[in-house]
Amino acid sequence: MKRVLLSTLFTICFALVAVCISNAQNSSVAGEWDGAFNTPGGTRPFKFVLEVDGEKLTGTAKRSSGDVPIKGTIKGDAIEFSYTINYGGNDLTMTFSGKVSGDKMGGVVTFGGQAEEAWSAERAKAEKP
């Protein structure tokens, strides 16, 4: 009986630790990021701010033509988010998928399902007062 109880407690503790580690990894992408993605016309810089709630990502893509909302997910080190812009009078959804490693992330951006290019980002440096 004692052995079963200890085994059960160990299993519960292990599960709780795994959940805490997963949540800590997911929350690590919260904040401001500086990135760039390739286009046929050259490399385009971009800034975005992410917020994390479990595996759900929200945030804002900071654009010179106006900020747009971001929606996505983070599962372990796999990240995916998208936002929609107006390009040439048409809505264009840009979907970013990739991996997070510490203060860096990168992968592939898909332009409305029509083309793919590479992207990367680094956590924005804190401004000194």
pLDDT tens digits along 19-60 = 334 444 444 899 999 999 988 889 999 999 999 999 999 999
Residue type, 120: S
Q: Residue 48: which CATH number?
A: 2.40.128.120
- Number of folded domains that form the chain: 1
In a domain, 8, yes or no: yes
85 forms beta bridges with 92
pTM for this structure? 0.75
127 found inside a domain: no
Question: Would residue 22 count as lying in a domain?
Answer: yes
Question: Residue 82 belongs to what domain range?
Answer: 2-122
Nearest-angstrom CA–CA distance, 73 and 20: 17
Segment 89-129, tens digit of pLDDT: 999 999 999 999 999 999 999 999 899 999 999 999 876 56
